[in-house]
Structure 1
C-alpha cells in the first residue's frame, strides 16, 4: 500500500565539499531510528558513503538514499556530492527531491558554499532550509558569517535557532519560533526542553520580531494584519514562514553539530513542518504525445508518470533506475511506456534503496522514489508513463565535460573491455563521457575535473578488472602551406616482366582557413587516361594523411592535376596513386609548410573578486578575451585560447576560484602555431622536420 502523499518528504542534502553533508545525513538517519548506531565518515561506518573510493577519500562521489520515519511522515534523504569534480551528480539528484537542506560550514567562505546548488534549487523552485554545522568549533562568529552569506545573490538567511554555548561548550539551541531551548547531554542525541537561558532572552525576542515581520511579507493577508496589529499569532507566523520557504524568499537557518550529534530531532521537525509535501508543490511541465506543452499536476489519483533521475548498477539487482513519482500511484507490475524510446515496459517489483540495501515495497505515490530493475533501455532523464497518457518530462541538460584524458589499457587487448566498462559507468554518471577520437584513434575519457576522471579509472579496476593509464590527449594539430608551387611525381621501375610507370604534374595552392581540400582535373590531350585520374587523387589524399613538419594531417589545400605521362603496359592505378603521393610530398616541402593549432571558445564564469587572477592566467595561456558580462556577483568572460594551453584548465580554474568558477569549452578554429613553439611540438611528435 502506498504512503499517504501528504506525509511524504524527499530532501536532498547539499553544500560545499567537507561542510559535513554526509555526517548530517547520517545523524538524521540515527535520530529517526533508521540505524541503531551513528554512522561516521571517518571510521567508514556511514550508511551513505559506502563506495571504497568514497571511504578512501572521506568524500561523497555519488548520490545515495535512505528513507526514515519521523512524526508519522516518510522522509527520504538524498546525500549528494559537494566536491566540484562531482557536483553535477548533485544537480541531477535535485530532480529527485522536493526539498533541500543546505549544509553550511561557518569555518568556510559562505559565498563558496552557496555556489551552483543554490542556483539550481532556485531555478527548479526547490524549498530550502539551511543547517549551520560545526558550531562546536572554536571562534565561530554566526552574525558575521550570515552577513556574508546574505551578500550572495537571492539569499536571505534568517536564524531559527540561537546556539547555547560556544566552542566545546556548545550544548544546544534556543528556538526563535517556540521560545524554548533544547539542551543536550553529551553526544547520544538526548536533550531536554527548557526555558531559554536568561542571557539569550532579549536576543531571542529581537530575532522573533524580525522573523515575524519577514514571514508576514510572504503573504499579503498576513502582512496587512501585521501592519494593523503589530503582531501575529504563532500559527499565523508559521503559515507565513512556510509560504516564505516555499517561495524561496527566505532561507531559514537551524543550528547544530554533526560531530557532536546535536540538533537533528529539531531539524527533522523542521523538515516536516516547513518543507512542503510534493503534492503541495506546483505542477511539472511536460509534453504530450502531440507535442503540446502541458502541466503535470502532482495528483496521486491522476495518471502515473515518473522521472528517472538516476541510474545505478547494483551488484545483486543489476541496473536499477531510480524514479521519482511525479503523478499517480502504482502498486508495481504495471504496464508503462518509456516516452523517449517509445518502449513498452513492465515495472515489476517496486524497490526502495536504503544505502546499500534494497527492499521491496507494495506501492508508491507522488514524491516517493522507487527503484525499478530490468527495464529495456532506460536512461537517466527518461519519463515512464501510463501508456494511455504518454507524457515527457523535461530531461536533463547535457553536461559539457571540462577535461579529457586519453586512456590506454595496461594489458594489450583490453581496450574493448575498458570501453565497455566505461560505457556502463557513463550510464550511472551523466557527467562522464567516453568516445574514440576519429583523428588519433585514442579512447578519450572526459569529465568535470581530473579527480572525476581518476576516480572513474579506479572504479573501472574494481568493477571490471581493467587497469588503464591516463595520458594527456593528443592535440589535433594540422599542417598546411603558405605558397603555391608546382611539383612532379614520377614512378618508373623495371624488374622483369611488366614494370611500373606513372608520371603526374600537379599545382598545389593554399586555401582559406577551413577550406578543406579541393582536387581539380585539368588534364587535356589524354596525357593521363581518365581511368587513372582518381588514382592520382587517392595518392594525394594519402600524402595528406601525414605532413612533413610533425606528421599531422594536411588541410586547406587545392591540388590541380594538369599534365603527366603513362605507358600502355606498365601503367596502373597503383602506379598513379604512388606518383600522386610522391608529387604531393615534394610540393609540401617546397610550399613553405606551417603547423596549425586548434583554438577553443571558452566561456568562463567567475566571482568578481577572482577576475584579476583569472584574466592574468588567460594572458599567460595566449588567450584572447573577446568580451565580459556582469551577471549578479559574477563575471562571464568570453575568450578564445589555444587548445594545448587549456587541456587541464578545469583543475587550474578550481584552484584560482576556490571551486566557484566554471566554464564551457568548444572548438573554434585553427591558427598558425607561433614559430618559437614549433620545435617543441615537432620534438614531441617524433617526426624529423623537413619544412622551412
Structure 2
C-alpha cells in the first residue's frame, strides 16, 4: 500500500444496529477496492472482519476491526464496529479514531435502537454522518418508509442523494439524483442507463430537495437558487459537502451489500463528502504547562491509542491514530500519559487479521504497533519537545456486576491475570478484588458481554470461571439504649485473668460510624487498660453481632468496671468489652442496614409505567420524573432502590424496554431493612457458617 497525503485519507467508522449488515457493507467496499479477492456472506460465517471464534459462532461483530483500502488515488480506513449494544465500548473507541460515521440502516427494519444510538454518538462528538440503506433486496424493503422514519427521528437533515429502482426481489438499480443518471445491475455488473420515465417525477422532487439543502448554507448559492437558477453539479456537491461537515445535511445512499449493488457509488460519495484527515484539529493539553493546545496535522508527531488487543502470538497490539506529524520505524515513542519512552520497532495495518507492513505513517493514518510494554488504551504518544496529551476515551460505565471464582481451587491468581488482560483490551470490563466480601468482582455491560468474557478466559488463558452471588455490604446497627456488664475472670494456677467493664450502648445520630467515650472516674478501670477496652469494642463491632456484618452508628460509653492488681491485663479487658457487647446488642433493638442507590432510568415515555411498576416490586421509592435535557422523547425516572434488588437489572431493563432503556446509579445511603428481609439475611448468614 502506497503512502498518501493527509488530504487523501478518509477515516470512517461504520455503525449500525445489530443485523443491519454493517460488516457485509465493509467487506463489499473492500472487494470493490480490490483490497480482498472475495468475501463471504454472514449466514455462512465467512466474514473477513469477524474472525474471532465467538464472532464466528454468533455471527456478530464483537470487537472493532480496521480495514484500509485504496480507491482512485485515495485511502479509506474503515473501522468496523459491533452492532450489539453490550459491545458499545468498542464503538466509543472506534469513534476516537474516526473523522466521520457511515451509519448502516436495514431497508426492511428501518430505524432501530442502536441506529438512534449511533446518531447520538455523532451529535455528541460532532462527527459528520452519512447513511447507507442496506438490504434493498429484502422482502419487506421500503426505502421511502425508511426515509420517513429517519426524518421523524433525526430531523430534516436526512437527505437522499440516491433513490432505488425497484425494491425487494425487484431491486435492480439506483438513481443518482445529483447527476440525474441511473445504474442497473444485470448478472452482477452495473450498466449506466437513463433514468426510467416512471421514476423521473420522484427523482426530480428529491433533486429539488438536495438543491435547497445545498443552497441553505451558502449565501451565493442561496441567492442563485431563490432566483430560480439551477445549481451546477459542482455547486450542488460543494453545498452538500459543506452541509454535511457542519451537521446540517446527512446524505443517504442505498443498495445491497450482499449483491454488491451500490458499493462503488458509495465509495465515491464517501470520498467526496466525508472530511479528509487534513481537516482534523485536535484539542490537547500541554503536559508541562497544563495549558490547552490546538493540534493541527502539520504539528510535531502526536498519536492516540484507541484500542489494545492482546494476541497469543504477537503479544500486545496497540491501535494508534496519528493526529499530527509523522511516524517512522525506529523512532522513539514518548508516552505522555505514562511518562515513559519506548523505541518503535515495526508497525503495520490490518485487514481483518491479515497484517500489512507499514514503514512510515503520517497524520490521518491508523497503524498497529506491537509489543509496547507500557502503552494502554487512552494513552497519548508525542515527543518530549511537544508533550501534548489528549483526553481519554469516555467509555460507558459497566453496571452489570457478578462475582467470579475459578472452577479449580488454587487458580485464583490465574483467574485474576486472565481478567486483568481482558480488561486491558476492553475497558468496559472492570475487575476488582472485594476485600470485605473476599470476592473477585467483574463489572461488564450485560449477560452477552459476560459470556464473551468467560469464553475468552477459557479459550485464551485456560481458566474457567464460575459465578456466585455477589456479596452485599450490609451493616448492623442498634436503635435502642442499654447498659450492660462484661466480666472476664479465669483462674488456672499462677496469674489469672480478670477484666470487668460496664458499658452503655446507644445509637449514634451524627452520621459517624463509631464513638467511644471514657466516663471512668476514681480509677475503677486503670488508665492503661482503657485503650484495650476501646480496641475490644471496635474489633467486635467490625466482626458484627447479628449476621456477621460490621456494626455502625454506635456510641459506646465506658461507665464503670473493676480490676485485679495482679490478674488484670489488656487482653482481659479486651475480652470483657467483647463479652459486654455480645450480651448488650440483642437488648438494644438491633437492626440490619442495606446500601440504597440513587437510580436514574432513561426510557421512551411509553415505558415509564413499566419501569415504575418494576421498581415498586424491588422495594424502590420513586422520587419523580423529568424530561431528558437533550432528548425530548425520553423520560428520566428517578428512584432510590436497595442494591440487593438491582442484581441483573441491565438485562431486565433491556427486555422491558426492547433495548431502548439505559440507567445509571450511585450510592445514596444505608437504610434499615424490613423485619422479613432482616430475618432472611440472618438465616443466610447462619447457613453460611454451618457450611
Normalising by the residue count of structure 2, what TM-score does the alignment of the two structures yield? 0.95
Q: Is the 8 A contact 1:551 1:687 kept in 2?
A: no
The aligned residue for residue 69 of structure 1 is 70
Q: Equivalences for 1:264-663 in 2 at 5 Å?
A: 264-281=263-280, 283-288=281-286, 289-299=288-298, 302-397=299-394, 399-512=396-509, 514-631=511-628, 632=631, 633-663=633-663
CA distance in 2: counterparts of 1:155 and 1:314, whole angstroms: 45
Cα displacement string for residues 325-348 of structure 1 (whole angstroms, at most 9, x for unaligned residues): 111122232223211122223233
Partner of 1:175: 176
2:143 counterpart residue number: 142
**Cα contact 1:160–1:177 (8 A) shared by 2:** yes
687 and 583 in structure 1: CA distance in 2 versus 1, 3 angstrom threshold:
farther
| SS of residue in 1 equivalent to 2:204 | helix
Q: How far apart are the structure 2 equivalents of 1:560 and 1:527?
A: 14
Cα distance change of structure 1 residues 627 and 155 upon mapping to structure 2, 3 Å threshold: farther
Deviation of residue 532 (structure 1)? 2.2
The question of 1:669 aligning with 2:666 is answered no
1:17 is aligned to 2:18: yes
Conservation of the 8 A alpha-carbon contact between 1:406 and 1:444? yes
| Residue 513 to residue 653, structure 1, CA distance change in 2 (3 Å) | farther
Q: Does the 8 A contact of 1:550 with 1:688 survive in 2?
A: no
Gap change, CA 1:471 and 1:219, over 3 Å in 2: farther
SS in 2 for 1:140: coil
Kept in 2, the 8 Å contact 1:27–1:39? The answer is no
CA distance in 1, matches of 2:58, 2:686: 39
Please give the root-mean-square deviation of Cα atoms over the aligned residues, in Å.
1.9
Separation in 2, partners of 1:530, 1:40: 83
The worse-fitting range, judged by mean Cα deviation, of 660-669 and 540-549 is 540-549
Contact 2:326 2:361 in 1 (8 A): yes
Aligned counterparts of 1:593 and 1:154: Cα–Cα separation in 2: 59
For residue 208 of structure 1, what is the aligned residue in structure 2? 207
Do the aligned partners of 2:312 and 2:460 also contact (CA within 8 Å) in 1?
no
Q: Deviations over 1:366-407 (max 9, x none)?
A: 111011223242121111112211111122225422110000
Aligned twin of 1:240: 239
Match of 1:46 in 2: 47
Cα distance in 1 for partners of 2:541, 2:110 equals 54
Which piece of structure 1 moves more, 171-180 or 582-591?
171-180
1:104–1:113: 8 Å Cα contact kept in structure 2? no
| TM-aligned CA distance change 1:113 to 1:160, over 3 Å | farther
Does the CA contact (< 8 Å) of 2:8 and 2:277 recur in 1?
Answer: no
Alignment check: 8 A CA contact 2:304 2:380 kept: yes
CA contact 2:131–2:252 (8 Å) conserved in 1? yes
Segments of structure 1 that go 5 or more residues without pairing to the other structure are none
Asked whether the 8 Å contact 1:10–1:77 carries over to 2, the reply is yes
User: Do 1:336 and 1:386's aligned partners in 2 also have CA atoms closer than 8 Å?
Assistant: yes
Residue number in structure 2 paired with 1:191: 190
Match of 2:30 in 1: 29
Q: CA deviation at 1:244?
A: 1.2
Q: Secondary structure at the match of 2:120?
A: helix
Tell me, in whole angstroms, the C-alpha distance in 2 between the residues paired with 1:398 and 1:587: 49
Is the 1:311–1:319 contact (alpha carbons within 8 Å) kept by the matching residues of 2? yes
Task: Give the match for residue 101 of structure 1.
Answer: 102
* Structure-1 residue corresponding to 2:225: 226
8 Å contact from structure 1 (residues 160, 253) kept in 2: yes
CA distance in 1, matches of 2:19, 2:160: 22
Q: Per-residue CA shift, 1:138-160, capped at 9, x if unaligned?
A: 23332222222212255622212
Asked if 2 retains the 8 angstrom alpha-carbon contact of 1:335 and 1:387, the reply is no
List structure 1 runs of 4+ shifted beyond 4 angstroms.
Answer: none
Distance change in 2, residues 1:195/1:315 (3 Å): farther
- Which region of structure 1 is more displaced relative to structure 2, 38-47 or 648-657? 38-47
Alpha-carbon distance between aligned partners in 1 of 2:654 and 2:621, rounded to the nearest angstrom: 21
Give the Cα separation in 2 of the matches to 1:151 and 1:529: 81
- Is 1:117 equivalent to 2:135 in the alignment? no
Q: Which moved more, 1:47-56 or 1:609-618?
A: 609-618
- 1:30 Cα deviation after fit: 1.8
CA contact (8 A) 2:130 2:250 kept: yes
For 2:688 and 2:296, how far apart are their aligned partners in 1? 68
Deviation of the 1:582 alpha carbon: 1.2
Distance in 2 of aligned mates of 1:366 and 1:125: 20
Deviation digits for residues 183-234 of structure 1 (CA, Å, limit 9, x no counterpart): 2234x5x322222222212211111111111121132322222112432001
Q: SS where residue 209 of structure 1 aligns?
A: helix
- What's the TM-score once normalised by structure 1's chain length? 0.95
Shift of the 494–355 alpha-carbon distance from structure 1 to 2, 3 Å rule, reads same
Unaligned runs of 5+ in 2: none
Question: Residues 108 and 142 of structure 2 are in contact (CA less than 8 Å); yes or no, is this contact kept in structure 1?
Answer: no
CA distance in 1, matches of 2:64, 2:659: 19
